[in-house]
């Protein structure tokens, strides 16, 4: 089946540094990928929609200059947390939609998430 790979699974960085998280669709092309953030005991909150070849669409309240998204190819989207602060510590999850022509819905496949800890 379809698989979405997210890397790294865990990262610890110092305050003020930048961290890049990769999301790859391994056996299908994804023109659209999504980035979510999940705080402890909270649900997933959509941060932004990553569109291949164009600018990402950010949800209200998400700083586009802080969370840089690049979707350079049909199988790779990256999220860069710039000038990270301890409050950015969270679980970041990506998903990619596998388009199935002729079907009523095209399922989302989620990565295994990245646990970011900013010290």
Partner 1 sequence: TQLLEQSPQFLSIQEGENLTVYCNSSSVFSSLQWYRQEPGEGPVLLVTVVTGGEVKKLKRLTFQFGDARKDSSLHITAAQPGDTGLYLCAGARNYGGSQGNLIFGKGTKLSVKP
In the complex, the residues that contact partner 1 under the rule CB under 8 A are 4, 6, 9, 32-34, 42-46, 49, 91, 93, 95, 97, 104-113, 115
Closer of 46 and 74 to partner 1 (Cβ): 46
Q: How far is the CB of 4 from partner 1 (least distance, A)?
A: 8
Query: 61 CB contacts (<8 Å, ≥6 apart)?
Result: none
Q: Are 93 and 44 in contact (CB under 8 A)?
A: yes
Q: Report the C-alpha gap between 92 and 45 in whole angstroms.
A: 10
- Residue 62 has a CB neighbour count (10 Å cut-off) of 17
Closer of 65 and 104 to partner 1 (Cβ): 104
Closer of 65 and 105 to partner 1 (Cβ): 105
Parallel, antiparallel, or unpaired for β 108-110 and 32-38? Answer: unpaired
Q: How far is the CB of 62 from partner 1 (least distance, A)?
A: 14
């Amino acid at each position: 089946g379809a698989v979405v790979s997210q890397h790294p699974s865990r990262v610890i960085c110092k305050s003020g540094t930048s961290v890049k998280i990769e999301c790859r669709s391994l056996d299908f092309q994804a023109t659209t990928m999504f980035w979510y953030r999940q705080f402890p005991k909270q649900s997933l909150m959509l941060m932004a929609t990553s569109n291949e070849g164009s600018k990402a669409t950010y949800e209200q309240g998400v700083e586009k200059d802080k969370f840089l998204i690049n979707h350079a190819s049909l199988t790779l989207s990256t999220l860069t947390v710039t000038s990270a602060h301890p409050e950015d510590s969270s679980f970041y999850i990506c998903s990619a939609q596998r388009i199935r022509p002729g079907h009523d819905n095209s399922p989302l496949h989620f990565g295994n998430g990245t646990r970011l800890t900013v010290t």
